[in-house]
Structure 1
Amino acid sequence: MSSWKDNLRTIEPYVPGEQPDLPDMIKLNTNENPYPPSPKVQEVLDQYDINALRLYPDPNSQHLVDAIAEYNGLNSDQVFVGVGSDDVLAIAFMTFFNSKKPILFPDITYSFYDVWAELFQIPYVQKPLDDHFEFVRSDYYGENGGIVIANPNAPTGVVQELDALRDIIDHNRDVVVIIDEAYVDFSDHSALELIKEYDNVLIVQTYSKSRSLAGMRIGHAMGSAELIAAMNDVRFSYNSYPMTRLSVEIGAAAIRDKAYFEEMRKRVVDTREWTKKELTRLGFTFGDSKTNFIFAKHKTIPGEVFFDELRKKHIFVRRFGNNPRIKDYLRISIGTQKEMEILVQELEKIEKMH
């Protein structure tokens, strides 16, 4: 007798960072922003007419699309919005990766990429980063069905310069190249200018990190009008109202408050640089992170030791213990200056114990 279970699609799911709920915790494991959203967001909440929530939202999320386009110097038809960058990336995978050739992305990168590939039955090949967690450009020169590059990369924090990206794109003019810039606001330079040079490049960004709105789930993509139109066709084929009325208003308000954004960004970057110096003093090694986290490994003490000891103190960091190449690394999100000072103190205690 056949069973309905024979027709299940079984996928090894993405495992998000732990979300503990402890009053005294220091949460440095999911790359959230330690500072509140823009005061303009609070104004939207204070003034919002809840009666509007009985109505469906604008399917085009035009107010938010226009605000993002204006901020980035683009036309509105070059912007796509979704429920966090995960939603945007998933739709991009469905839209652009439909050949029988494998898409390419690194072996150490955002671990949702292979999950989406499996879910949407897209063939893929993971190309190993070198010993310094750098891309091997020539690995991306061969025939393929598309390229995905997280830049800065996660969880390593390493940035590919524009010339390196151009080189990869120039070798892949017949497929779509996605550049996932979830952490770009903490780096020196976005690759956004590349969409003016290439019609096959899609830039994806998020409000979850630099704009302190992980709880609202707002993401966007930017590219040629033709790429964006194709994504909208796919999106409208299964969900015609993706963004809530409230998220549209909050997103538009947040991106227009540039002064507050720059102030909070600077705070995070300044604390990150201070933390780098302290971690170096304690015997950690790491790449030159341009994100709101540091991916660090101690010279002698296993990562599991630090992870477990910090957890006892209700200090949560991220560890990828199932990957032999990076099992001794800790991904440490940048919290407030005070939180990072406490972290360093505890790391110092652990080091002395071992």
Structure 2
Amino acid sequence: MGWEEQVRRVVPYIPGEQPKQKGIIKLNTNECPYPPSPLVKEYAAAFETELLRLYPDPEASLLVNALADYYGVDADQVFVGVGSDDVLAMSFLTFFNSEKPVLFPDITYSFYDVWAELFHIPYRCPELDNDFRLVKEDYLTENGGIVIPNPNAPTGLFESLDTIEEIVAGNPDSMVIIDEAYVDFGGVSAMSLVDKYDNLLVVQTFSKSRAMAGIRIGFAVGSKKAIGYLKDVKFSFNSYTMNAPSIAWGTASIRDDGYFKETVGKIINTRERVKKELAGLGFTFPDSMSNFIFASHETIPAAELFQALKQEGIYVRYFNKPRIDNYLRITVGTDEEMDRLLTFLKQIIH
């Protein structure tokens, strides 16, 4: 084996397919079906490429200050990174540093166990109940940290803020990370609790509701002490993770609140309409508060539906995993895209 004996071996996270052919209806990676804010386009057109010869601001102050103003916190309570994956990875590295297991659900974002394996962090995955709900008591035991996505992925279910607060309050010796990638689509953010609990970190992203998955912006809000520790680790890893266009264009997105709310509203309206249509076709699903629907059909196996849809040029996400291998995660697209999906489903179901 030689040098290979020293290799850190991990099984990597596998993202949803990114088909290259045109004409595909892409409902498999929870991207926003609408473009970013027109203000982002303005900032992009006016961006001075001359600035690219310089290193970007390592503090990303323009973006951090915009986020702090928007969410009503201090600038030193905000941390930014290259998508929420970067922010979460830095958070795992920073806060999960004991022999006790980190806790996250058995059905959840499949990057959590990858980071745990990569950083040699012990972990345990309490099972969601039969309705895919969190069992609160499972998170009120001894642990080395907690990660809860809220709303959860791939189920789309939102746990109440009371439940989240009880878990945070019950774990004063552990960092509790609430991953809110989908919170803008119907959940209530735990950000209101960060001044009350210094062991709480709330992570969000620009990839879903702000339609900027391609530029990679994520952020965390927490106590000044927690954010300080996070920055220490980040600057020990890479000083310049946030590039200059991301800082400028992310700030533009934050400043166009009207467009943001309009876009989110359209997605929610489409989601609720499609829920009714799918139910009429014999699908069941948890009551999604995200920009996707996690659906199972009463008679046709999910794997079969997945292949039929793919052949039709409609990509959805299928997870061949225990407990969820008869579900499809369907991103909410435009009304036109969802109509094409529904039309095809009607043809193969009836």
TM-score strictly above 0.5 = yes
Could you say which residue in structure 2 is the equivalent of 1:179? 178
- Supply the distance in 2 between the matched residues of 1:5 and 1:196 (Cα, whole angstroms): 47
- The Cα offsets for residues 192-219 of structure 1, whole Å up to 9 and x where unpaired, read as 1111221110000000000000000000
Q: TM-score, normalised by structure 1?
A: 0.98
Aligned amino acid, residue 329 of structure 2: R
Distance 1:121 1:188, change over 3 A: closer
Q: What pairs up with 1:167-316 in 2 under 5 angstroms?
A: 167-316=166-315
Aligned amino acid, residue 333 of structure 1: T
CA shift, 1:308, in A, is 0.5
CA shift, 1:188, in A, is 3.7
Could you say which residue in structure 1 is the equivalent of 2:347? 349
2:338 to 323, 337, 340: 340
- The Cα offsets for residues 125-147 of structure 1, whole Å up to 9 and x where unpaired, read as 01100000001111111110000
Aligned amino acid, residue 257 of structure 1: D
- Supply the distance in 2 between the matched residues of 1:148 and 1:187 (Cα, whole angstroms): 20
Could you say which residue in structure 1 is the equivalent of 2:29? 30
SS of residue matched to 2:44: helix
SS of residue matched to 1:165: helix
- The Cα offsets for residues 19-48 of structure 1, whole Å up to 9 and x where unpaired, read as 001211100000000000000111111111
Could you say which residue in structure 1 is the equivalent of 2:88? 89
Could you say which residue in structure 2 is the equivalent of 1:158? 157
Could you say which residue in structure 2 is the equivalent of 1:132? 131
- Supply the distance in 2 between the matched residues of 1:198 and 1:247 (Cα, whole angstroms): 30
- The Cα offsets for residues 92-116 of structure 1, whole Å up to 9 and x where unpaired, read as 0000000110000000000000000
Could you say which residue in structure 2 is the equivalent of 1:79? 78
SS of residue matched to 1:237: helix
Could you say which residue in structure 2 is the equivalent of 1:329? 327
Aligned amino acid, residue 162 of structure 1: L
- Supply the distance in 2 between the matched residues of 1:326 and 1:131 (Cα, whole angstroms): 11
Could you say which residue in structure 1 is the equivalent of 2:104? 105
CA shift, 1:324, in A, is 2.1
- Supply the distance in 1 between the matched residues of 2:104 and 2:186 (Cα, whole angstroms): 21
Q: TM-score, normalised by structure 2?
A: 0.99
Could you say which residue in structure 2 is the equivalent of 1:56? 55
- The Cα offsets for residues 292-336 of structure 1, whole Å up to 9 and x where unpaired, read as 000010011100111000001100000001x12100100000000
- Supply the distance in 2 between the matched residues of 1:125 and 1:226 (Cα, whole angstroms): 27
Could you say which residue in structure 1 is the equivalent of 2:11? 12
CA shift, 1:167, in A, is 1.4
Aligned amino acid, residue 344 of structure 2: E
- Supply the distance in 1 between the matched residues of 2:129 and 2:300 (Cα, whole angstroms): 23
SS of residue matched to 1:30: coil
SS of residue matched to 1:66: helix
CA shift, 1:173, in A, is 1.0
- Supply the distance in 1 between the matched residues of 2:239 and 2:229 (Cα, whole angstroms): 14
SS of residue matched to 1:197: coil
Could you say which residue in structure 1 is the equivalent of 2:46? 47
- Supply the distance in 1 between the matched residues of 2:290 and 2:237 (Cα, whole angstroms): 34
- Supply the distance in 2 between the matched residues of 1:278 and 1:202 (Cα, whole angstroms): 37
- Supply the distance in 1 between the matched residues of 2:237 and 2:213 (Cα, whole angstroms): 24
- Supply the distance in 2 between the matched residues of 1:129 and 1:66 (Cα, whole angstroms): 38
Q: Percent identity?
A: 56
- Supply the distance in 1 between the matched residues of 2:84 and 2:116 (Cα, whole angstroms): 16
CA shift, 1:77, in A, is 0.2
- Supply the distance in 2 between the matched residues of 1:176 and 1:191 (Cα, whole angstroms): 14
1:123 equivalenced with 2:134 (yes/no) = no
- The Cα offsets for residues 131-185 of structure 1, whole Å up to 9 and x where unpaired, read as 0000111111111000000000000001000111111112211110000000001
Query: 5+ residue gaps in structure 2?
Result: none
